[in-house]
Structure formats: structure tokens, C-alpha cells
Amino acid sequence: MNEQLFIMLSLVKDSGMLAPVIFIFFHVVRQFMFIPVAFVCMAGGMMFGSLLGTAYSLAGLLVLSAVFYFGIGKLHRTRSKLMSIKTKWFGPYTKMTVGQIAVLRLIPFFHYHLLNLCLLERRPDFRGFMRGAVATNVPLAFFYTVFGEFITSFSPFMAIMIVISLFILVYILRERVSVIKWSDFFGHHSA
């Protein structure tokens, strides 16, 4: 993975005026190279600075979210796999709030498209989905672009404390009402 990231960095640096376009495109293809979003955002901060790096990362993440929105309906096996992971991790009746999704995006090991699926459940129309994508990707792009260089110097204890704090924030931001189907609540008992 490190070699692929370094190749990408050198390709973008050497591309001159096309560097932002290539960087935004890299956000879309990085998932096929198994490079975490956080690393790409940090690289954007190193190459373009905090302001432009955040803007380019946000643009790339929004393009990726739009591709997900239009592609997930055609990828039935991928959607069912993501749904089974969502059910396993969060339960069958949990609908994540936009605030929870934004916080979970800050935790590097959460699957980006699993959180997109949670957002799609919350906001199924394209306009609402993209508004939610902006709201959940701004903290991600900003945090990892601006603070990327500091995150790498955190001690393991500090990193664990940050992750624990994010999990507590996810719990606080949860939706406090769950709707359970009558048949699921009482089971499928036949007399």
C-alpha cells in the first residue's frame, strides 16, 4: 500500500496543472488499491496545503459518494454484503444519524461505503443523500488534511483515547427511537 501511495504522490506532483484533477480522481480509484481515505486526505494536505487539500479531498469524496449512489443499485451482491455487515455491526433496526455517520467517518477502520449505505438508508433521494455526504465528509476531509501530520506523531495511548472519545460521541448522537415490526418483535410462532 505504501508503494502505491508514493507512486500516486509522485504522479500528482509531476502532473502540474492537472494535479488537482488527478488527485480528485484518485479518491475514486483508491478503494481498488485498498488505500484508506485518511491516507489520501493526509497526502492532499502535504501536496496542496490545508485549504486546497481539504477542498480537493472533499471534491473527490463527493464524486465517490455520487458514484456509490448510482452504482449500489446495480451491484446487488455488494449491497447485500454491506447490509449484512451493517446488521451484524449495528443491529437490524438501527438507522444511523448524519452526526453518527460523520463521527464514524473519522475512525479510520470503518468501511467508507458501509457508512454511505447507512446514509442512503437515512436519505434515499439523491439531493438529500448528497447533502448528507457533504455534512459527513467535511469533518473527514478537514480533520485528516489539516491534522494529518500531527496524528502520525500521537502516542498509542493518545490515539486510543481519541478513538474511545469518538465512540462515546457516536453513542451520544444516536437516534433514541427504534421501530420494530410486530412480527419481528413477537417472532414467527405458529400454534
User: In this structure, is residue 129 part of a structural domain?
Assistant: yes
User: In this structure, is residue 188 part of a structural domain?
Assistant: no
CB of 136 closer than 8 Å to CB of 122:
no
CB of 50 closer than 8 Å to CB of 150:
no
User: In this structure, is residue 186 part of a structural domain?
Assistant: no
User: In this structure, is residue 37 part of a structural domain?
Assistant: yes
Q: Is the pLDDT of residue 8 over 90?
A: no
Overall domain count for the chain? 1
Q: Pull the grid cell for residue 40.
A: 489520501
Q: How far apart are CA 159 and CA 183, in angstroms?
A: 43
pLDDT in tens, 71-109: 998 999 999 999 999 989 888 878 888 999 998 898 877
User: In this structure, is residue 191 part of a structural domain?
Assistant: no
Using pLDDT thresholds of 50, 70 and 90, give the confidence band for residue 189. low
Q: What percent of the chain has pLDDT over 90?
A: 36
Using pLDDT thresholds of 50, 70 and 90, give the confidence band for residue 177. low
User: In this structure, is residue 94 part of a structural domain?
Assistant: yes
Comparing CA positions, the residue from 149, 140, 56 lying closest to residue 106 is 140
pLDDT in tens, 101-144: 998 898 877 889 999 999 999 999 999 999 999 999 999 999 88
> What b/e readout covers 82-117, taking b as 16+ CB neighbours within 10 angstroms?
beeebeeebeeeeebbbbbbbbbbbeeebebbbbbb
Q: What is the pTM of this model?
A: 0.76
pLDDT in tens, 36-53: 888 888 888 888 888 998
User: In this structure, is residue 182 part of a structural domain?
Assistant: no
User: In this structure, is residue 105 part of a structural domain?
Assistant: yes
Owning domain of residue 119 = 2-177
